[in-house]
Structure 1
Amino acid sequence: MWQLNEFGDPTTEIVAFVDWQILHEGSPMADFSRLLTICTGGFNRRKFETIVFDYYLECLTKEMAEERKSCPYTLEQVQENYYIMFLTQAFVPIIGTVITGDYLMKNDSEKLRKAKVDEMLLKCKHILEDVDELLTGKLSYLFERFGV
């Protein structure tokens, strides 16, 4: 969760972490990707993707040093793992929009309903743009290998 400024907009200051693991132990980057794809729109997700890796690695390095161990990951490895996990989480908000969209808005006015639909579609558009960018760019090897 991010600190809000005086206008109610999120800042880059992190005030809390929420454990989003779903009945399994897994990669922290799976948790970050789930949190960011489900709980933020494209603007905020893309913004936080520019800072969260450095902060995570800084915290992990500090924790490992307290145990007299070196951090086993580089920034590039953390980022690549996040983007791979992002691919696995990217379709959750899209499916959620399709399945629950009408039900969640059944009591809304037409004006409010239109605003919610616009926001959900923009979120999905940004996710799909980023999936395409990853599979034709830095993660193209996954697409070439698995045809995913």
Structure 2
Amino acid sequence: MNYKIINMKVFGDERGKLVSLESKKNIPFDIKRVYYIFDTLPQEERGKHAHKNLEQIIVAMDGSCKFVLDDGKEKKEIWLNRPDVGLYIGKNMWREMNHFSYGCKLMVLASEYYDEKEYIRNYDEFLRSLK
């Protein structure tokens, strides 16, 4: 499966904590886009798509949610619930997000600019694209 958990180095003292995100250092690609997701209600689901070439790192800045990752052969469930842990999702991975806590805030770092043609939004099409 084309994913991994990235434990970010935390710097801190009595004033608080800081995590630095740097392209080609602790982020394995050049960052071309940053966006965030918030105010998603617990019963809602998001995602339900794959990307042909896009790589992402997702960080739960506040709260938690569950990711279901699928490479067409197996599925993995991953909970994000810490601002010092990133979920790397590589190319050709179907993702679904659910079980959002109230106030969950996700930050997403992407390797490419937004391009609707990059998305695969139909699961059967996703499976066909893997062959």
What range is the shorter-chain TM-score in?
under 0.3
With a CA cutoff of 8 Å and minimum separation of 6, indicate the structure with the bigger relative contact order: 2
TM-score calculated relative to the size of structure 2: 0.27
TM-score calculated relative to the size of structure 1: 0.25
Structure (1/2) with the larger helix percentage: 1
